[in-house]
Structure 1
Amino acid sequence: MAYILLYVDNIILAAFSADLRKSIIVILSSEFAMKDLGPLSYFLGIVVTRHAGGLFLSQNKYALEIIDRGGMSSCKPSPTPVDTKPKMSATSSTLYADPTLYRSLAGALQ
């Protein structure tokens, strides 16, 4: 059994045997230009760490990058990350200074 995860031009190939993995790589390489980057360590914002029992997946690095990009690295954590009593309205609040940054951060969280 083998699994191929494909996202745009990135591929993860996981197989239950090294021979199966190598044969799939040979077949794919005959049709597509490919590079084997070795064991998986980082993919689409997910850090992959190998353990005896399998793999550990973490998005801690990705979350820290988003926090840094939003200029919130020095902020203190809060048990409720949203103001439960909002003080904004569509008519009386000032516009967001950089809507592009806001949209980028919101998109990164999706």
Structure 2
Amino acid sequence: MGSGQTLVTDLLSKLSVNFKIRDLGEPSFFLGIKIVKCDNGILLSQLGYMNDILKRAGMAECKLLSTPLSVSKTFSADLYDDPTQYMSLDGALQYLTITRPNLSFAVNQLCQHMHAPAISH
């Protein structure tokens, strides 16, 4: 991707001197991110990845909220049964913030409880 086709072609020819490369065309899906070309740029979407996270967490049927984190609820001390699953889901949510930076604060709050995750987290 570049500002001009000649620049892209020149770069590819220079890279091919030292590396075995091939042109796969325009990307449509890369590392779980769907790439859609629009009139005014590109759209990056992780909708499928987000749905997979919800299924793994058993929350695919939950209702929507206007904010990703309750500002008034306090967390309970009942420990989460499987801390490994919690850590895995938390890591998946961190990757989701690539296209959803509005979730960063809530995911950061979850990361702060990695040492002893509770059910309410």
TM class, shorter-length? 0.5 to 0.7
Whose Rg is larger? Answer: 1
The counterpart of 1:42, out of the listed 6, 9, 29, is 29
RMSD: 2.2
- How far is the alpha carbon of 1:98 from its aligned partner? 1.7
Q: Give unmatched runs, 5+ long, in structure 2.
A: 95-121
Q: Give unmatched runs, 5+ long, in structure 1.
A: 1-13
Task: Determine what percentage of the aligned residue pairs are the same residue.
Answer: 41
Structure 1 segments (4+ residues) deviating >3 Å:
79-84
What letter corresponds to residue 100 of structure 1 in structure 2?
T
After TM superposition, the score normalised by the length of structure 1 is: 0.66
The counterpart of 2:47, out of the listed 60, 69, 80, is 60
Give the distance between the partners of 1:71 and 1:32, measured in 2 at CA: 44
More helix by share: 2
Q: Flag the structure with more relative contact order, 1 or 2, with Cα contacts below 8 A and sequence separation at least 6.
A: 2
Partner of 1:88: 76
Give the distance between the partners of 2:29 and 2:12, measured in 1 at CA: 20
Give the distance between the partners of 1:101 and 1:26, measured in 2 at CA: 45
After TM superposition, the score normalised by the length of structure 2 is: 0.61
